[in-house]
Amino acid sequence: MAETNALLEARGIGKSFLGITALDSVDLTLQRGEIHALLGENGAGKSTLIKILTGVYARDRGTIRLDGAEVSPANVAEAQALGIGTVYQEVNLLENLTVAENLFLGRQPRRFGLVDRRAMRDRSRTLLKRYGLDIDVDALLSSYSVAIRQIIAIARAVDLSGKVLVLDEPTASLDGKEVDMLFGVLRKLRDDGLGIVIITHFLNQVYAVADQVTVLRNGRLVGTRALSDLPQLELISMMLGRELQHITRDHQAEEQTVAPLAQAPIRFNGYGKRGSVAPFDLEVRPGEVVGIAGLLGSGRTETAFLLFGIDRADSGGAEIDGKPVALSSPEAAIANRFGFCPEERKTDGIIGDLSVADNIALAVQARQGWAKPISSRQKRALAQDFIRSLDIRPADAERPIKFLSGGNQQKAILARWLATEPRLLILDEPTRGIDIGAHAEILKMIERLCAEGMSLVVISSELEELTAVAHRVIVLSDRRHIAELTGSEVSADAIMQAIAGSARTEAA
Ligand SMILES: Nc1ncnc2c1ncn2[C@@H]1O[C@H](COP(=O)(O)OP(=O)(O)OP(=O)(O)O)[C@@H](O)[C@H]1O
Ligand SMILES: [Mg+2]
């Protein structure tokens, strides 16, 4: 084999789970001072590869060399001691400890056998300064934003390990400014000579921050390329093994086609909740997709919680078919045939130990009452239907859902709500964590559901996605509805302008 002085070199890595080949002879080479993106469709094997490098899983085959020496980390601590640190999407820090305590968890500086708080504080400050963070290290971690917590987690991982930093979808819940901040930190670490591996589904971010990219498909290596001479379309076809079909709405042509369907809209009048979202009017017609746009913290998710009865409105009322309804709980919303796909699938969505079929059947079962259990045959048929239409992989209804890749879990949650045939479906960030191929499928499906008369409210921070699917877009800022764009007015520019405009008025 050729001599290289790569920082990290994985060769011929193989791994199977319960008869499924997750990785089949995959190579990855990481140089010092390099940011290396790891891409591929949902279930391609990205997280599995990273977990092998960081000691979470044992590999079945292959070798890993770090600084030229063969290594076999048996657990995360061992990988850390070798120099490989990881930050997972769900930041693994403790919210109710202080920043300093989190940074030195398990290795507090001691003096006379006692934790030396002063030393811990000073070292924390110096450490975070390197990342441009000048924050109160005695404050609880929970008082900081997700972005700051990510950076604290990175600081901890780099301080512990110091050679290789691995990040699995670190930007999934960050807004644009926070992503910039994170990338600033990554570039600095790269310039200090660290090797960084990053998984993300945002291709523009790959181009913004990474030098090299390795693409996996179905557990196999497709190739490693320098991003500087890899056109985006070529990258996409490497990932999918085919060309992507684009979906965009023809807003001009549409203004006429939606109108005839316009009967019996679902109406919210003066709906709001103090401390959450200012009172708003919202009307969603059958067959219509209403988009909700706004920056992080603008009240998007709070609006969804109100519509679905998770939060109870303290002003205004809701109307279906011209009759007032009380949406005082999610149960009431479900009884009115509402569905809600939350943003945080890990905490609000999946039940890991239950099978894919059980997870999909859950909302249907809840609606028809637990006294009338759905038979396992019905459940399996229902699940197989959605496994096919959403291309959930592996196509195994009986597998515990925790064994599916992140993106495939997301699809199963979507299936759960679609199975209830809702009249209003609320989707909060429906394509987050979903690969670009499935992304297009989901947008297509949204279109089809609308044509069948379902109403949709879609919340998304990706303006391209929102303008592609929405007939109408409501723009939120500072927890109020500040603009509504219809038909040909719907564009990413117009949304940005509405947000910027409100920021100016607030500043004035
Ligand atoms: N602990 C496990 N037990 C059984 N199967 C698993 C386990 N972890 C992963 N798999 C399977 O291995 C394959 C690769 O999964 P992996 O999580 O690596 O995908 P991924 O590329 O990270 O996808 P995503 O973009 O959806 O996160 C999938 O088919 C998945 O179902
Ligand atoms: Mg993954």
Summarize pLDDT for 235-275 with one digit per residue, the tens: 988 888 766 555 455 555 554 444 444 467 899 999 999 98
Domain finish residue from 369, 389, 421:
421
What is the b/e burial string over 370-401, where b = at least 16 CB atoms within 10 angstroms of the residue's CB?
Answer: eeeebeeeebbebbbebbeebbbbbebbebbb
Nearest bound ligand to the CA of residue 434: 1
Q: 213 and 304, same structural domain?
A: no
Q: Is the peptide bond before 231 cis (omega within 30 degrees of 0)?
A: no
Query: What is the rounded distance in angstroms from the CA atom of residue 158 to the CA atom of residue 160?
Result: 5
pLDDT surpasses 80 at 412: yes
pLDDT surpasses 90 at 360: yes
- The CA 47 to ligand 2 mean position distance, Å, reads 4
- Residue 89's pLDDT band (cuts 50, 70, 90): low
Return the structure tokens found at 359.
């997870």
Q: For a pocket test of ligand 1, which of 54, 404, 442 has the largest count of ligand atoms closer than 8 A to its C-beta?
A: 404
Nearest bound ligand to the CA of residue 439: 1
To which residue do tokens 């994170």 refer? 182
Residue 47 placed within a domain: yes
Ligand 1 neighbourhood includes 22 CB (under 6 angstroms): yes
Query: What is the rounded distance in angstroms from the CA atom of residue 67 to the CA atom of residue 223?
Result: 22
**Can you give the pLDDT at residue 262?**
45
Identify any residues that bridge with 400 across adjacent strands, giving them in sequence order: 355
Q: Give the type of residue at 81.
A: A
- The CA 201 to ligand 2 mean position distance, Å, reads 10
Q: 48 and 73, same structural domain?
A: yes
Domain that holds residue 319: 251-337+422-507
Query: Of 258, 287, 296, whose CA–CA distance to 429 is shortest?
Result: 296
Identify any residues that bridge with 34 across adjacent strands, giving them in sequence order: 195
- The CA 406 to ligand 1 mean position distance, Å, reads 7
Query: Contact 47/201 with Cβ under 8 angstroms?
Result: no
Identify any residues that bridge with 424 across adjacent strands, giving them in sequence order: 338, 455
Return the structure tokens found at 186.
């990554």
Residue 2 placed within a domain: no
Work out whether strand 277-284 and strand 315-320 pair parallel, antiparallel, or are unpaired: unpaired
Query: Of 175, 166, 188, whose CA–CA distance to 88 is shortest?
Result: 166
Ligand 1 neighbourhood includes 410 CB (under 6 angstroms): no
Query: What is the rounded distance in angstroms from the CA atom of residue 166 to the CA atom of residue 127?
Result: 19
Q: 498 and 431, same structural domain?
A: yes
Ligand 1 neighbourhood includes 45 CB (under 6 angstroms): yes
Q: Mean per-residue pLDDT for 100-120?
A: 82
Return the structure tokens found at 69.
């020496």
pLDDT surpasses 50 at 29: yes
Query: What is the rounded distance in angstroms from the CA atom of residue 390 to the CA atom of residue 417?
Result: 13
Q: 368 and 317, same structural domain?
A: no
Return the structure tokens found at 393.
């992989």
- pLDDT tens-place string over residues 444-457: 888 888 888 899 99
Rounded to 5 degrees, φ, ψ at 401 are -65, -25
Beta strands in 88-226 (DSSP E): 110-111, 114-115, 164-168, 195-199, 212-217, 220-226
Cβ neighbors of 249 (< 8 A, separation 6 or more) are 467, 468, 469, 470, 471, 490
Ligand 1 neighbourhood includes 455 CB (under 6 angstroms): no
Q: Which residue's CA lies nearest to atom 6 of ligand 1? A: 403
Structure pTM? 0.73
Query: What is the rounded distance in angstroms from the CA atom of residue 501 to the CA atom of residue 508?
Result: 11
Residue 263 placed within a domain: yes
User: CB neighbours (10 Å) of residue 92?
Assistant: 13
Domain finish residue from 421, 438, 465:
421
Output the CA–CA distances (angstroms, integers) from residue 204 to 87, 209, 243, 390, 430, in the order listed: 21, 9, 18, 25, 19
Query: Contact 350/417 with Cβ under 8 angstroms?
Result: no
Q: 229 and 195, same structural domain?
A: yes
Query: Contact 84/161 with Cβ under 8 angstroms?
Result: yes
Q: 356 and 260, same structural domain?
A: no
Q: How many domains does the chain have?
A: 3
Ligand 1 neighbourhood includes 437 CB (under 6 angstroms): no
- The CA 22 to ligand 1 mean position distance, Å, reads 7
Ligand 1 neighbourhood includes 128 CB (under 6 angstroms): no
Residue 113 placed within a domain: no
**Mean pLDDT highest for which of 147-156, 360-369, 373-382, 443-452?**
373-382
Ligand 1 neighbourhood includes 214 CB (under 6 angstroms): no
For the chain, give the mean pLDDT.
87
First to last CA, the chain: 65
Q: 465 and 360, same structural domain?
A: no
Rounded to 5 degrees, φ, ψ at 43 are 85, 5
Q: 193 and 317, same structural domain?
A: no
Ligand 1 neighbourhood includes 405 CB (under 6 angstroms): yes
Q: 364 and 467, same structural domain?
A: no
- Pick the residue with more confidence: 79 or 203? 79
DSSP 330-362: HHHHHHTTEEEE-S-IIIII--TTSBHHHHHHH
- The CA 96 to ligand 1 mean position distance, Å, reads 31
- The count of residues in the chain is 508
Percent of the chain having pLDDT more than 90?
Answer: 49
**Can you give the pLDDT at residue 4?**
65
Q: Which residue's CA lies nearest to atom 16 of ligand 1? A: 45
- Sheet with strand 61-66: strands edge to edge: 20-30, 8-17, 61-66, 69-71
Output the CA–CA distances (angstroms, integers) from residue 298 to 147, 281, 289, 302, in the order listed: 16, 17, 20, 9
Query: Contact 45/68 with Cβ under 8 angstroms?
Result: no
Residue 377 placed within a domain: yes
Residue 117 placed within a domain: no
Query: What is the rounded distance in angstroms from the CA atom of residue 392 to the CA atom of residue 408?
Result: 6
